[in-house]
């Protein structure tokens, strides 16, 4: 390619660079190979969340009907709502 990718001091600097540059000037996408990243999990952070006991019990009932852990079901519900809210913009 005609241009070299610069060295970046941190991810923020790299993010800013790619926001304002076209990767096709730096990478020959015609030579790219498809790669599958198996078993990748997003990084997680523990939080403390106070919910009414009745809400937790109802969540557990719903999770039991779907045969999933209630915390996983809560993540699904949150992800769906976030997607809906961001899509509405």
The whole-angstrom separation of Cα 18 and Cα 21 is 5
pLDDT at 21 over 70: yes
Contacts of 17 (CB under 8 A, 6+ apart): 6, 8
pLDDT at 41: 82
pLDDT at 47: 93
Q: Is the overall model pTM greater than 0.75, yes or no?
A: no
The whole-angstrom separation of Cα 88 and Cα 11 is 29
- Closest to 77 in 3D by CA, of 53, 41, 51: 51
């Amino acid at each position: 390619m005609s241009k070299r990718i610069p060295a970046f001091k941190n991810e923020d600097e790299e993010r800013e660079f790619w926001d304002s540059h076209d990767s096709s000037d730096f990478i020959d996408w015609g030579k790219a190979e498809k790669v599958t990243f198996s078993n990748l999990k997003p990084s997680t952070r523990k939080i403390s969340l106070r919910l009414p006991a009745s809400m937790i019990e109802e969540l557990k009932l719903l999770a039991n009907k779907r045969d999933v852990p209630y915390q996983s079901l809560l993540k699904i519900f949150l992800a769906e709502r976030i997607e809906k809210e961001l899509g509405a913009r």
